[in-house]
Amino acid sequence: MMMAEGNFSILFILLLSVSLFVFEGSCMKAGERSFEIDYSTDQFRKDGQPFHYISGSIHYFRVHPTDWRDRLRKMRMAGFNAVQTYVEWASHEPEPGMYDFTGMLDLETFIKTAQEEDLSVILRLGPFIDAERDMGGLPYWLLHMNPEMRLRTSDPTYLQYVDRWFTSVLLPKVKPLLYENGGPIIMLQVENEYGSYPSCDFSYTGHMRDLVRNGVGLNAVLFTTDGDGVGFLKCGKIPEVYSTVDFGSGTDVNKAFDTMRLFEPHGPLVNSEYYPGWLDHWSYPHSTVDAQAVAKTLDEMLAMNASVNMYMFHGGTSFGLTAGSNKYSNFQVCPTSYDYDAPLSEAGDPTEKYWILRNITKKYLPLPSGDVPPPSTKESYGKVQMASLGTVNQLSTKLTSVWSKWPLTFEALRVANGLVVYQTSIPFRTADPAPLAINDVHDRGYVYVDGVYVGTVDRQQELYTLPISARINASLAIIVESQGRICFGADINDFKGLTTNVTVSGHQLEGWTIIPLPLTNNSRLAASLTHLPLFSSQDAFSEGRMSFFQGTFNVSAEGSQPHDTFLRLDGWSKGLAWVNGFLLGRYWPEVGPQVTLYVPHGVLSQGTNTLLLLEYEAAPCLTPDMCYVTFTDTHVINGPTPL
């Protein structure tokens, strides 16, 4: 039957209208991704449905990128549905206006990998993060730009760099990855534990809130994290930003959340840092926390429908010179390992704690199907013979120097970390012995008179004076090591090097030749080392005489890839280790508790690999056959420590 032309036109319009309505509705549904706080029912809502998270902290900058997926998948298979990470400003902008988001710093790839592993992401933007990192993740060069800068305040000389970093660089990368825009990021933290910082500058925290809002929009859920005491939250609370607390096992959960309720009467209960372990310091015993105690408190929180982030789920490693320090009753230095006694070990292996906590999480969230990925294969690559390349004193004659009447700090010299050589002469006759005073050396100084090592001054032990014997016009060299800037509290503006004048018998020494070592610049370091003549180990080494050593080892071409291993340095004292130009970090087995350095498979290559050591103090190299290290399949981070 044929339809009249007018009726056909009406039907066509109706059909077109219905099609457009259906299309438009489907588009709206596709865009209806939302994450929000429902204050009326005290819970989160994701796409309109009640939601609570069991999250774990993994710092992308502490894990080799070849292992990101493995660590994230292991966390997901433990029943966790979110990952939390900091953004470390200092690593991404190591010098002003120079940005790095490659390799281990590829933030966007890490976040997208988490999404592929079915994990939501909670992003802690900083700019300050603590995390036992150098200067709490703030760039050292801020102290060069203005030595009087008031960090983490509304000081305009500070905010101009924060604003540039957030507005021009960080937030444009973050915004497309928000949950509402199709990404996995459900929450953003503003600053970090600000209630523990003495400034209590509400203009600053309000500025940070507005900075984030302007960069990502009004829909993102913003939160703060502070300790579970009223005093912390009084300064940490930011209007229009959701306040959460942090605490560890054994805490009275009801009391801790009651404190939170004083500042957030409604909304979900959240512990943003639940501690399954704790951090370490060199020369102090390895920290451990009982797994059953951790499980018990976790169970109590989840039974209250609280959302919990475990800090850390996988601690990883502070590769390079990124580990920070703390100042409590004395100065304490963080080791390279950030194992944290976490459910996943430093090498990413499930521990007994992992399985115990998995049995708790599965009571509240369904476990994904499939098996937990196994521990990675570990390899003993055996003994590596080392040969001396020469000493720091020899190298310093080949490097650019700076002259100054008085000593300059690392920051004034634009040196991020490592070693700086300070040289002068003693232009007067001294008593024998005479007191050499190097007050407030930051952090450890190796002292030479006429090229002979005479002793060490040390900030941690508060040893600042040495008796010396010196003829008139004797040369004095002080090689100063930065052991990492303070990462928490009021003293994060922690200048390094000789921070005061040096005296002999009370007389100030003037006229300093200052030589930074390029230890964090692989190409410059490699080029500098080529200028050193090869020395025999016996000729080049004496106690306290800093020396570079090099060796090679072979990784078999059998199999698909190299395996994880651990560098063991029996007989060696203190220094730095590089594998194939990758700076593993600091070693100091003499004081413990960390004895071995973790070497991820991603820094190794099949065939010949190169190991470089800079030994500060004493190497077991009196004869060539004694001058070796070992790559083993066993990690030791709980070794003996001084009494």
What stretches of 155-204 adopt beta strand conformation (E)?
185-189
How far is Cα 276 from Cα 269, in angstroms, rounded to an integer?
Answer: 19
- Residue 32: the pLDDT is 85
- Residue 543: the pLDDT is 52
Q: Is residue 35 part of a domain?
A: yes
- Does one domain contain both 176 and 243? yes
Q: What is the mean pLDDT of residues 391-411?
A: 95
Q: Which residue, of 500, 516, 532, is where some domain finishes? A: 516
Report pTM: 0.93
pLDDT of 102 over the 50 cut: yes
Q: Is residue 560 part of a domain?
A: yes
Q: Which residue, of 516, 549, 566, is where some domain finishes? A: 516
How far is Cα 553 from Cα 383, in angstroms, rounded to an integer?
Answer: 8
From 117, 180, 191, 193, active-site residue? 193
| Enclosing domain of residue 307 | 30-361
| 193 included as an active-site residue | yes
- Does one domain contain both 256 and 327? yes
- Does one domain contain both 147 and 76? yes
Confidence of residue 8 (pLDDT cuts 50, 70, 90): very low
- Does one domain contain both 486 and 551? no
Q: What is the mean pLDDT of residues 190-206?
A: 98
Confidence of residue 364 (pLDDT cuts 50, 70, 90): very high
How far is Cα 118 from Cα 457, in angstroms, rounded to an integer?
Answer: 51
Region of residue 505 (left: phi > 0; alpha: psi -120 to 50; beta: else): left
- Does one domain contain both 303 and 450? no
The HSE-up count of residue 79 (CA atoms within 13 Å, CB side) is 19
Model confidence pLDDT, tens digit, residues 250-301: 999 999 999 999 999 999 999 999 999 999 999 999 999 999 999 999 999 9
- Residue 537: the pLDDT is 46
How far is Cα 328 from Cα 258, in angstroms, rounded to an integer?
Answer: 29
Residue 512 near residue 424 (C-beta atoms within 8 A): yes
The count of structural domains within the chain is: 3
Residue with tokens 């100054």: 404
Q: Is residue 395 part of a domain?
A: no
- Does one domain contain both 465 and 317? no
Confidence of residue 556 (pLDDT cuts 50, 70, 90): confident
pLDDT of 118 over the 90 cut: yes
How far is Cα 384 from Cα 342, in angstroms, rounded to an integer?
Answer: 31
From 117, 191, 273, 615, active-site residue? 273
Q: Is residue 159 part of a domain?
A: yes
How far is Cα 494 from Cα 64, in angstroms, rounded to an integer?
Answer: 28
- Does one domain contain both 69 and 165? yes
- Does one domain contain both 339 and 210? yes
Mean pLDDT of all residues belonging to the chain: 93
Q: What is the mean pLDDT of residues 307-313?
A: 98
Report the candidate in 351, 322, 347, 344 with the shortest Cα–Cα distance to residue 66.
Answer: 347
The contacts of residue 579 (CB under 8 Å, 6+ apart) are 567, 599, 603, 604, 609, 610, 611
Model confidence pLDDT, tens digit, residues 436-460: 999 999 999 999 999 999 999 999 9
